[in-house]
Structure 1
C-alpha cells in the first residue's frame, strides 16, 4: 500500500487551500475533481481533473478512483459513504470526519431534509465560519495521520557490509 492520496470534491470546496497545505506538509498527492472551476489556480503539483457536466460526475470519478487508505474532502454525504465503502477516509469541510458509525445517520438525515424541502419546508445550513475552517484543519490532520498509520513503513536500510 502506498501513501494516501487526497481527492478534493472541488467545485464549491471552501477549504481547498487548507487541504493543500496539510497534504503538502505530509508529502501527499492531491487531485481536485470538478466539472467547473477552470479559472481557479492550483498550486504546483496539484492535479486537476475536469469531468463532464452532470450532478454526480465528479462524485462518480472520485468514487472510482479512491483506493483503501486514500482521503476524500467532500461535503457530499453520499460520496463520503462511497469512499468509506471503498476503504478510504472522508472528511467534510466543516471538520466532520465520516466513519462507519456516523455515515448511516447522516444519510438518513439527508433524506429527511430532502423530504422536508419537497413538503415546502425551508432547510438551511449555517454559513461557513472561521471555526469551521479551524475544525477542518484539525480533522484533516487527524485523518491524514490515521491514513498514514495504515500505510506500510519503508523497509529499514540494508547494512553496508563492504564499508571500512
Structure 2
C-alpha cells in the first residue's frame, strides 16, 4: 500500500476568524464522520477533547497561520476559511477551500472572488466606505453544513479518505 493510499483526508481550519457556530459544525462532523479536524490559530482556544480534533498555535504575524495550513495540507484536504487569498493558495495546491457561508471555491470562483476583493481594497484605500459582510446567521450555518457534507460525500466517492 502506498503512502497516498494510507493518507486520511483532513479538514484544516483558519481558526482565528472562524465563527463559533462553524467550529461547532466541524466538531460534530469530525465525530460523525471520523475525520480529523485541525484548527490553526495564533492564539490559544478551547477545543473539545477528542483524538480527532487538534489545535496548532502559531506565532502572531501576517499570514503565519495561512502559511502553516498551506505547508501542512495535502492534495484533497479541505480548508475552511473566509480568507480569499488563503483559499486561492489552497486551490493552487489542489485542496478544497470552503468559506464560512458555504462557498466551495474552485479555480474559477476563487480567482473572480480574489479580483473582487482586490478591487474593494483599492476602493477602501481611495477613501470609499464599503460595508463588510452581514453577520453570520443560522441560515448561513446551515448552508455551510450542507456544503461541507456535499463536499465530503464527493471526496469519499472519489476514494479520498
User: Which segments of 5 or more consecutive residues in structure 2 lack a partner in the other structure?
Assistant: none
Task: Give 1:69 deviation, angstroms.
Answer: 1.0
The residue number in structure 2 matching 1:134 is 142
**Change in 2 beyond 3 A, CA 1:131/1:139:** same
Q: Select the residue among 9, 20, 24 that pairs with 1:4.
A: 9
The residue number in structure 2 matching 1:158 is none
1:97-126 CA distance string (max 9 Å, x none): 111121110010010110111011222211
Q: Point out the structure with the larger helix share.
A: 2
Contact persistence 1:72–1:83 (CA under 8 A): yes
1:145 maps to 2:158: no
User: Which segments of 5 or more consecutive residues in structure 1 lack a partner in the other structure?
Assistant: 154-164
1:52-97 CA distance string (max 9 Å, x none): 1012000000011111111000001111111111111110011111
The residue number in structure 2 matching 1:98 is 105
SS at structure 1 position matched to 2:133: coil
Q: Select the residue among 44, 48, 53 that pairs with 1:42.
A: 48
The residue number in structure 1 matching 2:118 is 111
Q: CA RMSD in A?
A: 1.5
- The 4+ residue runs of structure 1 with deviation greater than 4 A are none
Task: Give 1:146 deviation, angstroms.
Answer: 2.0
Return the structure number with greater relative CO, CA threshold 8 A, min gap 6: 1
The residue number in structure 2 matching 1:82 is 89
| Larger-Rg structure | 1
In 1: Cα distance, 2:49 partner to 2:16 partner: 16
When normalised by structure 1's length, the TM-score is 0.87
**Change in 2 beyond 3 A, CA 1:111/1:47:** same
**Change in 2 beyond 3 A, CA 1:19/1:119:** same
In 2: Cα distance, 1:110 partner to 1:21 partner: 31
In 2: Cα distance, 1:78 partner to 1:109 partner: 11
Contact persistence 1:91–1:143 (CA under 8 A): no
